[in-house]
Every structure is written in structure tokens, then in C-alpha cells.
Amino acid sequence: MHDVTTPDFARIAQDLQIRKVQVESVVQLLDQGNTVPFITRYRKERTGGLNEEVLRQIQTRIGLMRQLADRKQTILKSIEAQGKLTDELRAAILAAETPKRLEDLYLPYKPKKRTLATIAREKGLEPLALAIRSADPAVANLDEVLAGMVAPEKELNTPADVLAGAQHILAEQIAETADIRAAVRTILWDSGRLATGKKENLGDNEGLEYKDYFQFTEPIRQIPPHRILAINRGEKEGPLKARLEWNTEAVQQALFSGLHGRPPLLPLADHPHAAFLKTVAEDALNRLLLPSLEREVRRELTERAENHAVSVFARNLRSLLLQPPLHGKRVLAIDPGFRTGCKIAALDEHGNLLEDGVIFPHPPQNKKAEAKVKLEEMARRHQLNVVAIGNGTACRETEEIVANLIADLEKRRTGTQVEPSAICHQPSAISSAPPPAPASMPQAEELKQRDGMLPTPEVGAPAPRAPEPAAAP
């Protein structure tokens, strides 16, 4: 058996169709603190020329395998401390290949809050429950046994109270059996449907943005990520209620009679207490197992949807950042705004700041003519070729002013040819806010001082020191 603490390099190599030695080299480089871009560019001879995508897949797989190995060690120590670790259980834990399987195995031994089963165990009913499930001859006459275990001091006032306690213990055991959880989970994913509806107390004109989900149902394996996020949002905001529907007959069949040629998970044929155990199993399903798995399914659907949304945002950002640059163009950049004005800047072919300022063509100042004059002067003074307008507030109004200015320049044939272009302003707006931003473009401060854009020193403030005279050669 593979060492629980060592990732299976051969498995990764097989899945990625590469050599095991390549995986080992990549893991060694990553463990030394090297980044994936660095390894891709400068350690090709060590990795056999693996590209960045494969390297990241190896990095992800190794991380998940190590997390699983660490979790196995934690679980083994926890169960061993309880004195319940058997050789069979140890082997099953070490052989677990997924976190779900591992957590299913650990669930019966996982410290939990005080449950109905815990209370029943405290009353000493666990031996009775185990005897009933194993068809122990000692409980063949169950009614007589139950009557003999009545104990008012333990709040076991009637035989029915004793039997209910045994039922709680057995129901928890069934709900926490790893094979049963795995089988029911598969049925839920294969047959489950997510159904949504309108909340009963919702008014006729409320929540109409979610009207498409007032009578909606779709298989959980087919529902797209954006609908999952919309349903979650509708539940959180209040208009929607959602539930999972599944094939209950398949679950019952898998438990009691077998499904798809497999033996039943709870064989009750010829069991002397079959009727009672069937009631216990139904209680385990409806009260414990299915609600737990429903929460698990909803959580997994949400995680998948959120991960998909992140990947979409990443692709969009990548496309935005990889837009072709304006080689050899001088740019007039405008960050539009109403009350605070439009910030303008002239940039040369290399992105260096030539001049900046503020114009107020929109309400409340409405200095449109003055703004057009200033834009034309800046464009002619620096021979600007392209106008880049941020696509934020007042974008359309600013674009109209620029279009009129370009039309006027064409009519007058001034020789200045300017092309308008709308750009996404969010990245630049964000990057301009942090403290390091002014330091990245010190010439902007000099221009502002020269043009009177910075506030004058307060009265009483020390005057700026004159520069020291240069030393004589």
C-alpha cells in the first residue's frame, strides 16, 4: 500500500501522460520555493520542457494529495485516541482516494454535538440497539426485554421510550455508514433536480426580477453555474425558496432490495425485527442522511458555480489586459466626470506624461466651450493622435464633446488628426488610489505645481527651500 504521507507521483504522471521523473522534478522545484513561471522559463531542462498549464496541474494535484494525506493522519490519530481504530478501518482510511470517502469513514467517530443518539447511549441503550440489529437471540422476545429496561430515573418511562432510544442509535449508525452515504449520494446526483418557487408571503409585485424561477426545476447535473448563483441570491434576498427533489424509490430499493444487480445495503430478509429496522432506516434517511447530503450537494453546486464565475472573470480580465497597445501613438486620456470635472492627460509614445489638467464641460459648471478650447490646444501642442475616454460616469457626454471637436478639426483642416476610443477605466482608477501611485509618476506633481493645480501653502507654513547651488567644477 502507498505511504499515506507521500503523494502518488506515478498516478499524476499517468493522468497527465508524462513521465514520473518529470513529476518528481517539478515537485522538487516547487518545494524549493520556485514559482511556476520561473520553472517554465528557466528550468526546462529539469522538467523536460513542460508548459505552464501542466506545471500548474501538477502543483494543484500535489497540493490536494498532501492535504488528503495530512487529513488521513489527523483522522487516524483521532480514532486511535478513542481506542476504536481497527486494522480494517485503518486500511479503509489509507485507501480512501477522495475527501468525501475519507470524511464518510470518519463520520461515526467524529466528535459531535449532543444528539438524540448520544442521549440514548448515555442511558445505556447502545447494547440493546446492537443486539436488535445483529438479531441476537437474547432479544428474540423484544417486548419482554423492553419492559424489563423501563427506568423512570433515566426518563425511560415506557417500553416505547426504550425502543425509541434504540431507534435513535441505529438511525445514526445507518446515516453514518460510509457505503450507504456513498450510494445515496450517487442516486441524488443521478436523479436529483433543483426546484424553486415563490415564497408564500411574497406580494404580487415583489421579487419580479426572479419571476423566471417562481416555477423552475432542472436536473442538478445540467443546471448552469449562473442559475445556481441567481437562485442562491434569490434565496438570500427572500423572494425564492429552493428544494432538492430526487428518486426516493431508487433510494429505498438500494437500501432494502438492491439496485442495478448489487446486494441491498440493509439486508432485512428473514430478520426477526425487519419491520422495526425498516422504520429505523426510513427515519435515518428522512431525518439525518438526506438533509445532510442535500446540504452537501447545494454546497458543491455553489462552489462549482463560484469557481466558474472566477474563471470567467479571469478570462475577461486577461482579454482586457492583452488588448494590443497603441504603438507610436500620442494619447489624450480623459477620465470623465460631472461634478468633479474630467481629468485629462497627454501622453507621449512611451506613456510618459506630457501635461495634465481638468475641464468642466458638464453640469453643474457647463463650461463646454472652454473645455473644447483646452482639448484642442493640448492636442495641437503635443501632436496627439488618439483620444482614450474612460467608460465610466459621463462617458457618453464626454464622447459627444470629443466627437464634435474632431468634426470641427476636420472641417478646419488643422492638420491634427485625432481618433476617439473608449477604454475601461476601472484598472487605472484603482491603481491611481494607493499611496505609491504618485511616486510612480513624479513628473505629474511637477506639472501640477507649475500649472497651479496643487493648493498653495497655508499662511505660516515654511517656504520651500531653494535648491542648493551647484558646486563649481
CATH number, domain of 56, equals: 1.10.10.650
Do both 418 and 272 map to the same domain? Answer: no
State the CATH number of the domain containing residue 266: 1.10.3500.10
pLDDT at 420: 53
Q: How many domains does the chain have?
A: 3
288 and 402 inside one domain: no
Residue whose entry in the numeric block shows the C-alpha cell 434569490: 234
In a domain, 269, yes or no: yes
| Cell (9 digits) for 322 | 492583452
pLDDT at 255: 82
- Which residues is 219 bridged to in the sheet? 193
**pLDDT at site 220:** 92
Of the residues 43, 76, 97, which one is the last residue of a structural domain?
97
Asked whether residue 465 is assigned to any structural domain, the reply reads no
- In terms of domains, do 313 and 339 share one? no
Of 318, 342, 376, at which residue does a domain stop?
Answer: 318
Q: Please tell me whether residues 171 and 290 are part of one structural domain.
A: yes
| pLDDT at residue number 429 | 46
Cα radius of gyration (the chain): 36
- Strands of the sheet with 331-335, listed across from one edge: 353-359, 342-347, 331-335, 386-390, 419-423
Nearby residues of 97 by Cβ (< 8 Å), 6 or more positions away: none
Q: b/e for 433-447, b at 16 or more Cβ within 10 A?
A: eeeeeeeebeebeeb
Residue 89 counted as domain residue: yes
Residues 415 and 341 in one domain: yes
Verify that 426 and 349 share a domain, yes or no: yes
The per-residue pLDDT for 449 is 44
pLDDT digits (tens, 9 = 90+) for 387-403: 999 888 899 999 999 99
Q: Are residues 168 and 287 in the same domain?
A: yes
Same domain assignment for residues 165 and 300: yes
Residue 23 located in a structural domain: yes
**For residue 409, what is the domain's CATH number?**
3.30.420.140
Q: What is the reported pLDDT for 198?
A: 86
Specify whether 174 is located in the same domain as 53: no
3-state secondary structure of 470: coil
Reduced to 3 states, what is the DSSP secondary structure of residue 332? strand
Domain co-membership, 93 together with 158: no
Residue 221 lies in a domain: no
On whether both 142 and 287 belong to a single domain, the answer is yes
Question: Residues 6 or more apart from 2 whose CB is under 8 A from it?
Answer: 8
- 406 lies in the same domain as 381: yes
Q: Which residues of 370-399 are buried (b: 16+ CB within 10 A; e: fewer)?
A: ebbebbbebbeebebbbbbbbeebbbeebb
Per-residue tens of pLDDT for the chain, all 473 residues:
445 556 788 889 998 999 999 999 999 999 999 999 899 888 989 999 899 889 999 999 999 999 999 999 999 999 998 888 899 999 999 988 889 899 889 988 888 888 899 999 999 999 999 999 888 899 889 889 999 999 999 899 999 999 999 999 999 999 988 888 898 899 899 989 999 988 888 777 777 888 888 888 999 999 999 999 999 998 888 888 889 988 888 888 888 877 666 777 787 778 888 889 989 988 998 999 999 999 999 999 999 999 999 999 988 888 777 776 777 889 999 999 998 899 999 998 888 899 999 999 999 999 999 999 999 999 999 999 899 998 888 999 999 999 998 888 887 765 555 555 555 555 444 444 444 445 555 555 554 444 433 333 333 333 333 333 333 33
| Full domain range(s) for residue 265 | 126-192+246-318
Grid look-up 452537501 returns 296
The structure's pTM equals 0.61
251 lies in some domain: yes
Residue ranges in 149-193 assigned as alpha helix (H):
159-175, 178-191
Domain end (from 273, 293, 318): 318
Among candidate residues 408, 407, 416, 355, the one with its CA nearest the CA of residue 380: 416
298 in any annotated domain: yes
222 domain-assigned:
no
Looking at residue 467, its pLDDT comes to 37
